[in-house]
Structure formats: structure tokens, C-alpha cells
Structure 1
Amino acid sequence: MRLHEYQAKEVFADAGIPTPEAELATSVDEVVAVAERIGYPVAVKAQVHVGGRGKAGGIKLAEDVEEAEDVAEDILGMDLKGYKVDKVLVEEAVDFVDELYVGITLDRGEGKPVAMVSTEGGVNIEEVAEENPEAIAREHIDPAFGLHAYQARKVVYDAGVPRELARDVSSVLQTLYDLWESNDASDAEINPLMVTSDDDVVAADAVLNIDEDALFRHPDLAEMEEEAAEDELEAKANEYGFDYVRLDGNVGIIGNGAGLVMTTLDLVDYYGGEPANFLDIGGGAKAERVTNALDMVFSDENVDAVVFNIFGGITRGDEVAKGINEALEQFDEIPKKVVVRLAGTNAEEGREILNDELVTVEETLEGAVQRAVEYAEEAE
């Protein structure tokens, strides 16, 4: 479960992490009223589950009433990477001199949580990891003992954080780990952790993602689930019984198994594309289930092409092919190009059955992914 920024900040503030004064608003008048109470300048921040909100126009500063009205009108109701903005966080603008990144996540390769600190805060940490990995200091944590104070100081110093800030940043990092551990979180991060001219640190953003299977242990967080809520596609996925995660790319991915979908997602990235989603339709691929999956992916405005990765096990490939044909025939017009890869039981028979006027059929997964990436690039 992904908490909104305002929800995560409430949790952080309750734990003692410094956060700016802020209030939630759902209308232009509320934005202005909150800004007047807090005092200008303020930041108006869209509350949607996407990264890069600032670059997409979802975070703006307002210096006075007129600007607050204009900014609120611009952001409220906007479509931000496929999400409609219906609420914003109006927040005291932080007068900062530097930006840091601190985070806790699970390193699945090591089988341990890992604390991360970087002096390159304020930008996408995935980009930093890819382009300048040495800029991120890491310290693995033994979950039996937690994050020791000396480990927090070590990773902070390894990142190059100035000595005068080290104690406060270490303290924030330790608190962040405590929150990660006690709330059964998958990710907890602050990006940016802003540094003021007085050498104070303030959490200008907040991420806290919770393992949904552990929500029964956290009724207070479970109450936030409905507020945190998914967009329409995620709600549809729950209704259809699909495992679905929305991403930022333009290549839609559908598969009948989590491993198949993850492999497809990785290959899309490998061949230069950007995955738009993780969508596992589970066992079987009857027409109704395929139709629902395609309806979801076609409804995502970010998607320019779709790759279907199906392995016929108990469900035979020819049955899957019939389901795909029946599903596509229900659409008056196929809005995005669809590429299908079938493997497993009766895969050859399935490929012969598929209507190649409606889909592009590829024998290998690599070929299917490359073709879908090409289609997506052509559509841009």
C-alpha cells in the first residue's frame, strides 16, 4: 500500500522527523485559505502516486494570493501521468541551501534491509543510481539488531554529508529505519531532505510504502488505505482480481504469471523501452479475463503498444489463442498495437489460431518485446 505524501509526513512527524507546516486542500478557495494561515511563500503539491511531479507541473510555488489561486487552478483537476489530481498539499516553502536523500529499502540480493544516503537529493534516485552510483552510500542492516548508531553515522559520512549536519541526518535515518521496521514497510525515504541556512534538516517529501499482507497488524495505517487510494485502473484491477502496478512507461505488459510478467518487464527495459505496468492475469486466459486485461491497458493513456506474454501450462495455448481472438473481436477498433508471444502446451497450434489481422505474433519473448518497443517508439 502506497501512502500519499501527506499521509507519510503525518507518520514521520509523529515519530519526530522535522516536516514543514502543511494542510490538505481540495479546492482553490481551500488552497488560498491554507496558504493564508501558513504564510507565504507556499508550495502547492499534487497528491498522486507518481514520481517526477515537479517536472510534470504538479508542484509549484506561490508567493502571494494571486499566485496561489493561479497555481491551485493549474494543478487541481489536471491529468498528471494518467492520474487526476483532486487534492493538493499546501506546504510552507523551505528556504534551503542543499538537498540530501535518505532511504531504507530491502536489498533482495543480500536478503537484508539497506540504508542509503546521497548528497544528490531532489532528483530521481533511480537516475542517480544508474548514472552516478558512487554518489549513493549504502549500509546493510542485520534485522536482528536494527540500524546501529555507528552504522547510521558511517553511511552518512560515506555519502559526504558535512560534519555539522551528520548528527541530525543520522538521527533522521535511524528514525526512518525504525518506522520502516515497525510498520512492515517495503520502502521509506525522504527526497529531498532539505538543509536550511541554519543547518537544520527538514523532510520536504516523504515516501512510505507498506506491505499489504501486514496491514492487519497496523489498523491505523489500514484506515489510510481508502484515502490513499488507487486510481481507476488500480480499482479495476482489484475488481477483476488482477495483480497490477502502474508504472511510468508506454509499453503495456500482460502475462499469466508473476515471473513471466517480471521477465517481460525487465526485457522491455533491456531493449530500450519503458514498461507502463505490471499486469498478471493469473492462471488461465479465457476471453472475459483477456478482455478485462486489454480494457485496462487500452484505458491507460500512456500506453502506445502492448505485449502479451502467455505460457500455456494447464491452460493450453490453443485455448489462450481463442480467448485472445474473442477478446479483441469485441473491440470496434484496436486502439494500440498488440504483440503476442505464446509458449508451452499447444503453443504452435495457438499461434496458428491467432488472428494476425488483430495482433502481431512472435515465437520468442525477445522478438515480441523488441517488436512492442518498436511499435511504442513509432507511436510517440
Structure 2
Amino acid sequence: MDLYEYQGKELLRQHGLATLPGRVAETPEEAREAAEEIGGTVAVKAQVLTGGRGKAGGIKVVSSPEEAQSAAEQILGMDIKGHTVRRVYIEGGAEIATEMYLSVLVDREAKKSLVLFSTEGGVEIEQVAEENPDALVRLHIDPLVGLMPYQVREVTFASGLTGDSAKQFGKAFQNLYKTFESVDASLVEINPLVVTESGDVLALDAKVTVDNSSLYRHKDIAELHDVEAADPQEQRAQEADLQYVKLDGNVGILGNGAGLVMSTLDVVAQAGGSPANFCDVGGGADADKIATALDIVTSNEKVTGVFFNIFGGITRGDEVAKGLLSAIEKTNISLPIVVRLDGTNAEEGREILAENTPENVHTAETMLEAARMAVELSGKGGN
């Protein structure tokens, strides 16, 4: 679950990181009041769950409450990469001497936490990695051991800071990792982490992503979920206890098991197609759950065909076939659907589909054959 900047900063503050004073505003009038309360130069910052807001005009620095109100009028309602701005964050100004980048994320391949640090903050870290890789420090942290003092010293030395600023940086690094661990985050990022002219170290931005699987342990964070901003398909899938991630393609994907679905995405891409989603219906899915999953997948306007890939284990092939036919009947889907059944009772399942198949349902015995058929029937570009 992604958090807005103002929510992420509140978490950082709770764990000892220093930030500038700020207030959330949902109307231009509230923005003016916030600017009056903070005083001096303020930044009016769009609150959206995506990057690139600065380039899109979603951040404006103003010097008076009236200008803050005018800036909020321009930013509220703005569309930034498909996200509508419904709140702005009014934040105090600072005299910045140095901008840096600091983050902690989960490195799933290494099965460790990964610290990324760069003295080049305020720009996209991918750009730094590509154009100046020597400016990027990578440091793995063993989760069984935690952040060690020598690692704090290593990154602090890389920052080039001295004196009290170096001490503040080291403390900020420790507190950032403490935030990462305590909220079960998959990413905590500060870009930029700044040093002011007076030598103070402050977090000027905050990007926090919390592992959804841990939210039962963090009721307070779960309550921060913004239902209005959520993708409608992903929101419905969450309510139906389905694992669903929206992608940019046109071939809808359903399967039973995360590994199988991931393989299906790869095979569709290999066949020249573009997956529209990841959707795992789980083991033992009944007709109602399959119907819900199909309805969610096909409610995406980009989807022009569906690939249903099932391996019978806990879920027997004949039961899947019956559930699928019942689901198609309930949802009245007319898009082409390609079904590949394998595993327990797969032959019986294919026979059931062959005897009762609607015109828009097609079967295939192998995953590659099914993927090619799904791509062909869906159209590579969705046209």
C-alpha cells in the first residue's frame, strides 16, 4: 500500500526524522490558512500516488498566503499521470545547501534489505544509476542482524558531511531504517534529503510503501488507505480476496497460483502479446469467485480477450470447467476466452468444456499454444 507524502512524513516524524512544518489542505481556502499559519515562503505540493508531479506543475513555491490559495486553485483537480489531485500539502521553506537521496527497500533476489544512497538528490534515482553509477552507494542489510554501526559510518562517510551535519545524517539514516522495519515497509524513500545552510538535515519528501500482507499488524496504517484514489479493479479484487495487479496490456490473465500466473504473463509476452493484469484466483476457487474474477478482469476497458490458465491440484479440472461455464453464464462475457487446463482431472474438464462450450470459449492443451491463441484472438494491439 502506497502512502501519500504527508502520511509518509508523519511516519518519519514518529520515528525521529526531522521534516519541515506542513499542513494538508483540500480547498484553496484551507491552503491559504495553512500558509498563514506556517508563515514565509511555502511550497504547495500535489498529493498523488505517482512520481513526476514537479514536471507536471504539481509543485509551486509561493511567498504569500494569497499566492498559496491561487496555486492550490491551479493544482487541485489537476490530472497527473491518471491521478486526480484532491489534496495539497502546504510546507514551509528552507535554505538548501545540499540535496541527497536515501532509501531502504526489499531486495527480493538477495533476500535482504537494500540501502541506496546518492549525493545527487532531487532527481530520479534511475537517472543517477544510468548517468553516474559511481555516485550511487548500494548496501545490503541482513534482516537477521539489522543495521550495523559500521554501515551507518560507511554511508555517512559517502555523504561527505562533517561535524554536526554528519551526526544528524547518521541519526537520520538509523531512523529511516527503523521506520522501514517497524512498519513492514517494502520501500521507504527520501528524495531529497537535504542539508540546510545552517547545517540541519531534513526530509523534504517521503515515499513509503507498506507490504499489504502486514497490514493486519498495522491497523493504523491500513486505515490510511485512500479508497477513492485506488484503481477500481484492484479495489474490487481486494474486497473479493483476489490477488490482482493491473498492467498496461490488452490480454486479461487469470490463473490459480502466483507462480503459474507469473509464468503465464511471460508466455503471453513470448507469444507477442501484452498482459493486462495479474490475477490469481487461488486454490479451490468456486464458480462465484471465478465469476467475480472474470468480471473484474474484463471490466478493464483495455482487455480484448482473456487467457484462463489452470493447473489442477487442489482445484480439480472438471470442477474448474463447471465453475468457468457457470461464471461465463453469470457474467455474460462476449470477449474471446482461451482456457488451458492441466493437472488433476484436466481431461474430464476439457471434455466438459468441449460439450458445452459457448462460441467465445476456446481450449488448448499446452500453455504456449493457449498463449498464442489468446494473443491472436485478442489482437496484439487490442484493436
Please give the TM-score of this superposition, normalised by the length of structure 1.
Answer: 0.76
Aligned to 1:222, which of 214, 219, 224? 219
Distance 2:195 2:299 in 1: 42
Q: How many residues align?
A: 371
Which is further off, 314-323 or 73-82? 73-82
Change (3 A) 1:146 1:319: closer
Is the CA contact (8 Å cut-off) linking 2:234 and 2:246 kept in structure 1?
Answer: no
Given that 1:247 and 1:275 are in contact with CA atoms closer than 8 Å, whether structure 2 keeps it comes out as no
- Aligned to 1:227, the other structure's residue is in SS state coil
Residue 10 of structure 1 deviates from its aligned partner by: 0.8
User: Which of 334, 358, 361 is 2:360 aligned to?
Assistant: 358
- Find the aligned partners of 1:96 and 1:270 in 2 and give their Cα distance: 49
State the Cα RMSD in Å.
Answer: 4.1
1:122-161 → structure 2 map (5 Å cutoff):
122-125=122-125, 136-155=136-155, 157=157, 161=159
Following superposition, the deviation at residue 116 of structure 1 comes to 2.0
CA positional deviation for 1:176: 1.0
Give how far 1:145 is off: 3.9
Task: Classify the secondary structure of the residue corresponding to 2:223.
Answer: helix
Distance of 1:90 and 1:13 partners within structure 2: 16
Pick closer, same or farther for the CA change 1:36–1:360 going to 2, 3 Å: farther
Aligned pairs for 1:67-146 within 5 A: 68-69=68-69, 71-73=71-73, 75-77=75-77, 85-92=85-92, 96=96, 99-125=99-125, 136-146=136-146
Question: In structure 2, how many angstroms separate the alpha carbons of the residues matched to 1:135 and 1:370?
Answer: 44
Tell me the percent identity: 43
- Cα separation, partners in 2 of 1:10 and 1:176, compared to 1, 3 Å: same
Look at both structures and tell me which one has the larger radius of gyration over its CA atoms: 2
Alignment partners' CA distance in 2, 1:92 and 1:248: 37
Cα 1:369–1:86 shift into 2, 3 Å: farther
Partner Cα separation in structure 2 for residue 10 and residue 257 of structure 1: 37
Residue matched to 1:309: 309
1:261-288 Cα distance to aligned partner (Å, 9 max, x none): 3334566678888765443211234432
Question: What displacement does 1:151 show?
Answer: 0.8
Structure 1 stretches of 5 or more lacking a match? none
**Equivalent AA in structure 2 for residue 358 of structure 1:** N
Map of 1:233-312 to 2, 5 A cutoff?
Answer: 233-244=233-244, 246-247=245-246, 249-250=248-249, 252-265=252-265, 277-300=277-300, 306-312=306-312
Give the CA deviation at 1:315: 2.6
For residue 342 of structure 2, what is the aligned residue in structure 1? 343
Checking the alignment, whether the CA contact within 8 Å between 1:194 and 1:203 is kept in structure 2 is yes
Shift of 1:6: 1.6
Among 355, 366, 381, the alignment partner of 1:378 is 381
Q: What's the CA shift string for 1:187-240, capped at 9, x where partnerless?
A: 3222332455556443232233344555565xxx42232232442444422331
Cα displacement (A) at 1:87? 3.1
Deviation for aligned residue 1:319: 3.8
